[in-house]
Amino acid sequence: MELVQDESMLLHLAVSAVFSGLTIYKLTKNKVKIENASVCGLLSLLTLGIISFFCASGRAVLTLFVLSCVAYYFSIPVRDMLPMEGKAVLITGCDSGLGHALAKHLDELGVLVFAGVLDKKGPGAEELKKICSSRLSLIQLDVTSGQEIKTACDKIKSRVRDEGLWGIVHNAGVLGYMADGELLPISVYKQCLNVNFIGAAHVTKMFMPLLRKAKGRLVSISSMAGHTPIPGFAAYAASKAALTMFCAVMRQDLFKWGVKVATIHPSGFKTNIFGSRENWSAQDQNILANLTADVKDDYGEEYLLKLRELHDEMAAISSSDLTPVLEDACHALFAQSPNSSYTPGRFAYLIPCLFRYFPLWVYDYFAKQIFQIHRNILPRSLRLSRTKNNGA
């Protein structure tokens, strides 16, 4: 028994040493980020390793440890990239933000970029024309217009011919406005669904023959809100959840054609997505104009004005370094073995884990702390009844 225990210990030490060496080498070589899922996996394994080391009936636990090490090693994402030069990629919504930055980034890497823009004469499009190489083509593309999608497809088809289109990045998106779901006008729900989901589905359908020809990549910028409830995001989150599930099903449908599908779920990045002060007052007016008298009375106009601060708060906790999203989009487009899901940004992996694997009250508690939403803001009638109760 003692000998078995000693053999187990020796084996345990040998496996740990080999595993540690190989893992550190692979994590460094593939530039795996510290907040990545792989690191959580590594911590779980270390715990299992320690248990198996001290466990009296070491064999079973040791076998489990060895098997887990092997599984973990193969789960580390590999960054073997395919050649990018000359491969054609369409990105929607390149007027500003992530799409704009991705168009520049891919152009620098030698990719043949088709940058879809909402306004071909706008400042974002002009900047791309000025800064990028002659490889980049600006494409007028409002993803809610069937006519513009068709014209864009015909144009790109005549450029790529038999090569087909290597990649589509569904990036165009709108947030609408952050407010309680009850307050948001139906027009905001429709706008979010039309741009964030129907637009992406329509573009996918139109360009699919070109993508299948190249056995290429379908990449969508969804959102952390697409798989995790965040207060104030009812319209946006529902449209992103639709996009996320669309991509998940398309991944299965397109497998037989050799087309790979990936979804990116970023957390907060500082772009134009949170709108501007002028845009917020227009949204306030739109909300007020669509409320019934009793709802307006229950919430109070001052509540709406306070909600505006949420946009500032969200922008303040967002990162101005867009690199994590650009790197993940590149990996999804050009890695030999892309992931099906990416979570760039602060807490983009941890917050959905809290939602998925912990009791709801734990998630609700942290969501309230992290998003600061509704902490100090109360609708008028709730405020009044609390004051009354405190006075009684």
Residue 183's nearest CA partner among 277, 273, 294, 268 is 294
Least distance from C-beta 271 to ligand NAP, angstroms? 3
Q: Is 195 in the site for ligand NAP (CB under 6 A)?
A: yes
Tally of CB atoms within 10 A around 286: 14
Judged by CB, which is closer to ligand NAP: 48, or 128? 128
Q: Which is nearer to ligand NAP, 27 or 172 (CB)?
A: 172
- Please, which of residues 163-192 interact with ligand NAP by CB under 6 A? 171-174
In angstroms, rounded to a whole number, what is the distance separating the alpha carbons of residues 77 and 36? 10
Q: Which long-range contacts (CB under 8 A, 24 or more apart) does 334-339 make?
A: 334/81, 334/82, 334/84, 334/87, 334/217, 335/77, 335/78, 335/79, 335/80, 335/81, 335/82, 336/78, 336/80, 336/81, 336/82, 337/77, 337/78, 337/80, 338/217, 338/260, 338/262, 339/77, 339/262
Q: Which residues pair with 115 in a beta bridge?
A: 91, 138
Q: Which range touches ligand NAP (CB under 6 A), out of 27-35, 42-50, 154-162, 268-276?
A: 268-276
Residue from 5, 30, 68, 96 touching ligand NAP (CB under 6 A): that is 96
Distance of alpha carbon 195 from alpha carbon 115, whole angstroms: 17
CB of 348 to ligand NAP, least distance (A): 9
Nearest approach in angstroms of CB 350 to ligand NAP is 15
Comparing CB distances to ligand NAP, the nearer of 5 and 144 is 144
Quote the least distance from Cβ 331 to ligand NAP, whole Å: 16
User: Any catalytic annotation for residue 236?
Assistant: yes
* Cβ distance to ligand NAP smaller for residue 269 or 280: 269
Q: Find the shortest distance in angstroms from Cβ 325 to ligand NAP.
A: 8
Binders in 108-167 for ligand NAP, by CB under 6 A: 118-119, 141-144
What part of residues 279-338 is at the interface with ligand NAP (CB under 6 A)? 318
State the CB neighbour count (10 A cutoff) for residue 356.
10
Q: Which is nearer to ligand NAP, 97 or 338 (CB)?
A: 97
| Sheet with 260-264, side-by-side order of all strands | 137-140, 112-117, 88-91, 167-170, 217-221, 260-264, 341-342
User: Total residues at the site for ligand NAP (CB under 6 A)?
Assistant: 28
In angstroms, what is the minimal distance from the CB of 183 to ligand NAP? 20
By CB under 6 A, what part of segment 215-244 binds ligand NAP?
221, 223
Query: Which among 25, 72, 73, 236 is annotated as catalytic?
Result: 236
Can you list the pairs that 7-14 forms with residues at least 24 positions away whose Cβ atoms lie under 8 Å?
A: 8/58, 8/59, 8/62, 9/53, 9/58, 11/62, 12/49, 12/52, 12/53, 12/58, 12/62, 12/65
Contact residues for ligand NAP (CB under 6 A)? Answer: 92-93, 95-99, 118-119, 141-144, 171-174, 195, 199, 221, 223, 266, 268-269, 271-273, 318
Residues annotated as catalytic (active site), given as ranges: 236
